[in-house]
Structure formats: structure tokens, C-alpha cells
Structure 1
Amino acid sequence: MTVKADDGAQLWAERSGEGDPVMLCHGGPGLWDTFEDLAPLLVERGAAVLRWDQRGCGRSERRGPYSVARSVADIDAVRRHFGLEAVTLLGHSWGARLALHYALAHPEHVTRLVYVSGTGIGPDSGWHPEFVGRLRAGIGERLARWEELASRERRTEAEEREMCVLQWSADFAGPDRGRALRLAERMATPWYGVNFACNAEINAETRTMSEHQLHAACGGLRMPVVIVDGAEDIRPRDAVDSLEQALPNVSRVTLAGAGHMPWVERPAEFAAAVAPR
């Protein structure tokens, strides 16, 4: 299904199930919806699930501009398209940050915020160096190949996919790297290509945002917020502590044996934590 944003951009979206609406915001920036395993879990628990590819990503029209405000407006366009007054908003990774910004801008349209595998509201410098070390360790014996691909100024589509699969394999928990590679391959299938311009522009913008201002704004949120972490996420989970402390109505669930995509590795526990109540 195609949703038209307020500036005419075409956004891919899909609705499944009947019940309380849950809208999903995928990670990135510059990636696409990877919730094909999560959506049926939530439908089974009585949710109407809305999936969509963010502007310029996946099956949506590859066109800018790329900004947090533009992304927030696109969420609102999808919500209105499906005729929903309010939704549970679930965001993963970058999508968790985006969902938070939407909740701050439009609290009247969010009944509950589910913040999954995010990196908080503090500066990247607080968590990124540790993340890089864990990423390199997680890639393991294929690190040299990943470094070679990442250092190239130009890559073929196949090389870009290979680089991403190697990098994403570090996002899964446990010592079985063969299993991690298989799960990363599944994430990359079908392959839509990373929008690196979108990634660069939005990341540059979020790095300039004031932690103090975000902390103060979060203090005004009244809807319930659930923070969900995988205990083995390579992004340090203490990066989220300041966000948790800023929110007045928050609970936190940490899933053992799960990395950055906890619904893939602990599906039943994840669905129990985030399904409509």
C-alpha cells in the first residue's frame, strides 16, 4: 500500500490484524522495515500492526528531504492515512529515537511508547567508542573482510550487502557466529540498499541536539513508556539510563540472551513485554 506524505512523497505501508493499533518504526536511518517476525506475534496478541518504510528507504520513494521533523511528519501522515486517532508507537534503534520525537511533538496521538534498543538522549561520545570495540569483536574472524569492504570508496551492490551482513551479525547474541550470520542474512533479504545520504543527514542533525532540552521535554511526557533492551546488545545499555531517569511514567524490561533485535531471539518474552494491554 502507498501512503502519500504531505509533500507528495510516496511511502510504503502495510496493515495487518485487528485490534489496538501498534505502529512500528524501523531502525537506520537509511534502512527499511525488518519487523516481518514481530508483526504476527503482535497480531496474535490482539493488535492491528502498522508497518512502513521511512522516506527514501526500502519500498518507499527515494526522495528527501531527510530530517527528524520530516520523519515525524511522515509518521503523522501514515497515522492519518489509516484513520487512527492514537496508536501505541514502537520504535527500534534509530526508530526508537524517532518514536520519542513523535511522542514529544504529538503526545495526543500516542497512547503508549515502546522504546526498543535505543541509545538514549545523550551524546554519541558517551557510548560509541565502546560500541565500536564490541562491534569489531562481534564480527570476529571476518573482521578483516568487513574492514576491507568498509574502507572502499565505491562498492558494488553485492559488496554493500556483504558488508552489512557482516556488520549486522554482531547484533545477535551468543557465541554461535554461524547462527548470527544466518540471522543477518535474513535481515538483508530482500535487499533494498542502504540510503547513506539519509543516514548521514539525520545522524548529523541528532548529534547537534541538546541533551538538556531533550531531558526537560521528556519530563513532560505523561503516556506510559516501556524501554526494552537485549542484555547482549553491543550498544552499551547504560546509554539509555538518562532517558529512563527523565521519563515520569516508565518501566524497563531487559531480555537475557538477546542482542539488538530482541524479538528475533526472545520472541515470546518480547511480545509479552510490548503487546497491547
Structure 2
Amino acid sequence: MRNTAVTADDGVRLWASRSGRGTPNTPPLVLCHGGPGLWDMSEDVARMFDSRTAVVRWDQRGCGRSEPCAGPWTTERFVADLDAVRRHFALERPVLLGHSWGASLALSYALAHPDRVAALVYVSGIGIGPDADWHGAYEANLLARLGEDPGRLARWRELPGDSRERAVLQWSAEFVDRKRAVEHAERMADPWFPINFPCNQALNAEARQTAGTPARYAACQALDLPVLIVDGERDIRPRSAVDSLERALPRVRRVTLAGAGHLPWVEDPQGFREAVTTAMP
């Protein structure tokens, strides 16, 4: 594994890491983490595939190990940053694997630069419909999961929003296996970095403006790339929200992993590995 700094076209430095070996017949894999405002937590995913191909991970602008900055917090800017990562590692047409918010970012990149992408793997996203398709149900499901342990829910409610403990408790709701949920969430928070809330708020507000628009549907309908959608069946974000994207894409396949939540590679690593491998040309 080799860590490096990628310089974006406006001079901001982005943390990135490359592992594995590239082969002439297998395109490299670039991982786009969730958030927005978080950092890469996908080292386990990289290990699944770095015996097959080169794998690149990176921390998005102003987040995690990347240089602190004042933005700008726009999808267009993050797409340009992802292209800087691609160019830094001389990746001609990688497979993009985006998780959660990173799935939306990877989709936006593919829509902007389809000639620079071999395939798209869209993991645990929220589709392209309006917020009403998923957000209310997500909040209700989050409280229900946390409420299975009333003490855990009460503690989550009393903690400040920027505390590591609160994040771990909230992330524990992402896992189906309730006995190991906090353990899995603790791994997500190691190492721990401050959450970039201005980034989170700005990008979420932008997403609400573009979700469900005719332009978004039309762009997806015109995307001539193979796309794999991977869902954890028991994600607390309703999987029906992703139907909007599945219906729009002309070249799409969908795999739903039973018994897995929002991070399906944690709870069904074999199923996740098999699904993603089929998407790598």
C-alpha cells in the first residue's frame, strides 16, 4: 500500500492510497467513500480486490486526511477532484465503486465523463428521486434500530453532534447483527477525524435541489455504461428509493444481499466480493 498526496487543480491536497497490482486485462478500481463530510473507511474493500487489480482510495476535499480547506462544497468540485485522483495515478478508464453519498458522487462523475469510466458499482445509494422517497423512512428506521436498546438511544440523544461516541452509536444502526453492531461501528471510527459538517450540509442541500428533476432522469437514461447496483436488503434507507435509478439506466444489473445492512461488505463479504467481481470487465 502506498499513500500519497494528490493536488487538485486549485491546489488543494487530497490524501490518497494505492494498493494491489494493475494487470493489462483488468481495469483499476477507484473507491469513493460516503458522507458527505466523512473519510475513506474502505480498506477492507480494497483488500478484497487488490490481489486482482490496482485499488485507489482517497479522502474527499477537506475531509479526513486531506488538507483542511474552505470548499467549495459542490458536486462539480468533487467530480473535478475525483478526476485529479484518476489522472494522478494515470488511470485511463477505471471501475468506480461508490458507497452511500460516494455512490452519488461516482454516478455524477460517470455522467460527466462516461469516456473515462469502464463500469460503475453503485453501493447502498439512495437513487435519483426526491428526498421524500427515502429520508422520512430512514429517520424512522434509525430511531427504531437505536431504540432496540433504550439506553443506547438515550445516550445518542444526549451527546453533542460532533462527538465520536455519538457517531459510533449512530453508525451502529447500520448493521443488522445487533450483537456486533457497536464493534463494527467502532472500526469505522478508527482512525477518527472531525466530521466536516459545512461540507455535509452544503452537499446535502445541493442534492435536494437536483433529486427528482427531469434533467437527472434524462442524463441517467442516456448513460451508456454498465452499472451494478448493490444493496444490503436490511439497509435502514429504503431500497425502494433506488428503483428510480434502476428504471432510468439502460445497462443495469442489481444484486441485493440478504441479511446485510448499509455496509454490505462487512456482513456478507463473500456475496459482496462475488457481485463486484462480475462488474469488473
Q: Work out the CA distance in 2 between the residues paired with 1:200 and 1:239.
A: 21
1:58-207 correspondence to structure 2 within 5 Å: 58-63=64-69, 64-139=71-146, 140-141=148-149, 142-149=152-159, 152=160, 160-174=163-177, 177-207=178-208
Q: Which runs of 5+ in 2 are unaligned?
A: none
Q: Work out the CA distance in 2 between the residues paired with 1:267 and 1:193.
A: 28
What does the per-residue CA deviation read over 1:48-81, in whole Å, with 9 as the maximum and x for residues that have no partner?
Answer: 1000000011100121111100000000000000
SS of corresponding position for 2:56: strand
SS of corresponding position for 1:208: helix
Q: Work out the CA distance in 1 between the residues paired with 2:248 and 2:106.
A: 16
Q: Work out the CA distance in 1 between the residues paired with 2:211 and 2:132.
A: 14
1:1-40 correspondence to structure 2 within 5 Å: 1-19=4-22, 20-40=27-47
Q: Which runs of 5+ in 1 are unaligned?
A: none
User: TM-score of the superposition, structure 1-length normalised?
Assistant: 0.94
Q: Work out the CA distance in 1 between the residues paired with 2:275 and 2:192.
A: 30
Q: Which residue of 2 aligns with 1:234?
A: 236
CA drift at 1:210 = 4.8
For structure 1, which segment, 206-215 or 196-205, has the greater mean C-alpha deviation from structure 2 after superposition?
Answer: 206-215
CA drift at 1:178 = 3.4
How many residues of Structure 1 are paired with residues of Structure 2 in the alignment?
Answer: 267
CA drift at 1:185 = 0.5
Q: Work out the CA distance in 2 between the residues paired with 1:59 and 1:201.
A: 20
Q: Work out the CA distance in 2 between the residues paired with 1:38 and 1:148.
A: 33
Give the letter for the 2:244 counterpart.
Answer: S
CA drift at 1:125 = 1.7
Q: Which residue of 2 aligns with 1:247?
A: 249
Q: Which residue of 2 aligns with 1:272?
A: 274
Q: Which residue of 2 aligns with 1:56?
A: 62
Give the letter for the 2:158 counterpart.
Answer: E
Kindly indicate whether the alpha-carbon contact (under 8 Å) linking 2:131 and 2:211 is maintained by their aligned counterparts in 1: no
Give the letter for the 1:7 counterpart.
Answer: D
Q: Work out the CA distance in 1 between the residues paired with 2:45 and 2:211.
A: 33
CA drift at 1:41 = 0.5
Q: Work out the CA distance in 1 between the residues paired with 2:270 and 2:57.
A: 20
User: TM-score of the superposition, structure 2-length normalised?
Assistant: 0.93
Q: In 2 relative to 1, CA 130–43 (structure 1 residues): closer, same or farther, beyond 3 Å?
A: same
CA drift at 1:114 = 0.2
What does the per-residue CA deviation read over 1:99-126, in whole Å, with 9 as the maximum and x for residues that have no partner?
Answer: 0000000000011000000000111122
